[in-house]
Amino acid sequence: MFSAIVRVFRTPDLRRKIGFTLAIIVLYRLGAHIPTPFVDYSNVQQCLSDSSGTQGLLSMVNLFSGGALLQLSIFALGVMPYITATIIVQLLRVVIPHFETLYQEGQAGQAKLTQYTRYLTIALALLQSTTLVTVARSGQLFGSSAAASCQQLLTNDVWWAQLLMILTMTAGTGLIMWFAELMTEKGIGNGMSILIFTSIAATFPSAMWAIKQARGLEVFLMVLLVGIVIMVLIVFVEQSQRRIPVQYAKRMVGRRTYGGTNTYIPIKVNMAGVIPVIFASSLLYIPALIAQFNQPAAGESPAGWVTWINNYLVKGDHPLYWLFYFLLTIGFTYFYVAITFNPTEVADNMKKYGGFIPGIRAGRPTAEYLDYVLTRITLPGSLYLGLVALIPLIALATVSANQNFPFGGTSILIMVGVGLETVKQIDAQLQQRHYEGLLR
């Protein structure tokens, strides 16, 4: 293992790529701590140290920005606008035929879809930065019960100062997008995925230290041990797949023979990745957002439905919230898998090139068989996602963890997934040059 790591840094091209990736990561983390103009930095830091954490979607955005959101830095929005834009463009393939046509055109069509994603990212960044500045100006960023200093986070709230803050945060999102594309082109792995990994890893030490401060060394070591076990299990599930054998018939083209090979279609247990967890948490945040805009006037009691939402769907520590979260995660897993994997399209492509599944007729029977396998393998995958998503909520209620608890939910899924993919890419680079990879 150590000899393989030495080979990594002895390979000039690989060493240069890793060095470039690390340099971009350093710039990204530096930008996460540079405050936006007209932000009272000392007040923000004081509120961060006094705050017990945020709830719902705001907590998730703060997690994906590496804590930059609540610091109101130039990279406050992080990678969230790009993630949202990518998901929207992917879902639009189902409802807009032009997008599906571009997707099937190959590299040229993918380039156009990428350009649409960039435009949508900037538009979402404008919208989200406007919302963030408005919330900060109203003093609600850390909650209505926060200290008086947390109600005054801006040193100047005139219209041109707010406009400058919005443009700065939007430009920061564009810079992050450029960093990610540079990293993908000249570094190791997918640039945006590595930046997400970096954002989550940046919150890891503070989250673990908060557990040690609240519950002591014994609970801290227990959480660390449980976290390692969870990571091992997640690696096992993420690598698990059902391999459907495929054979290609021999065919003559001129004097050459093509086909006659055996391969397989890998269907992962977790084909949806982390997207269903993001969808479920975002949807559960909507009732809390509606209730927040329907607060009663002074001296009046809140409406019954507002009280019910505040009691059961805001804090995230009630079993009813856990049940909704679990069921929504399962539902969105089936929904997203149905969108991203089209059995009919796969069956048609196999038939076009002379491929067939042994014992299954080509065409419609093949599509029905793939749908049958996909439906059943998605069930354990959705249950697995639902359980992993509940880990931070259970930890929040049992060991006084904060909302960014690192061993569960979106954080652990992304960290393990990106880590595995990056190691595979380094392994492939080594095999090209030394005929021996990083892993044996």
The Cα–Cα gap between 113 and 109 comes to 6
Average pLDDT over residues 171-182: 92
Mean pLDDT over all residues of the chain?
80
pLDDT, one tens digit per residue, over 105-158 is 878 888 898 899 999 999 999 998 898 888 888 776 766 555 666 667 788 878
* Band of residue 258 on the pLDDT scale cut at 50, 70, 90: low
* Band of residue 47 on the pLDDT scale cut at 50, 70, 90: confident
Lowest mean pLDDT among 54-63, 122-131, 372-381: 54-63
Q: Please, are residues 422 and 201 in contact by the beta-carbon 8 Å criterion?
A: no
Residue 55 or 303, more confident:
303
* Band of residue 12 on the pLDDT scale cut at 50, 70, 90: confident
Lowest mean pLDDT among 47-56, 236-245, 309-318: 47-56
Residue 338 confidence (pLDDT): 87
In this model, does residue 254 exceed pLDDT 80? no
* Band of residue 218 on the pLDDT scale cut at 50, 70, 90: confident
Report helix, strand or coil for 264.
Answer: strand
The Cα–Cα gap between 89 and 392 comes to 29
Q: Model-level pTM?
A: 0.79
Residue 241: phi and psi, rounded to 5, are: -155, 155
Residue 107: exposure state from Cβ atoms within 10 A (0-12, 13-18, ≥19)? exposed
At the second CATH level, the architecture of 204-440 is Orthogonal Bundle (1.10)
Average pLDDT over residues 10-30: 87
Residue 148 confidence (pLDDT): 63
* Band of residue 351 on the pLDDT scale cut at 50, 70, 90: confident
* Band of residue 259 on the pLDDT scale cut at 50, 70, 90: low
Residue 181: exposure state from Cβ atoms within 10 A (0-12, 13-18, ≥19)? middle
Residues of the chain with CATH 1.10.3370.10: 32-187, 204-440
Lowest mean pLDDT among 233-247, 291-305, 405-419: 291-305
**The domain 32-187: what is its CATH number?**
1.10.3370.10
Residue 251 or 363, more confident:
363
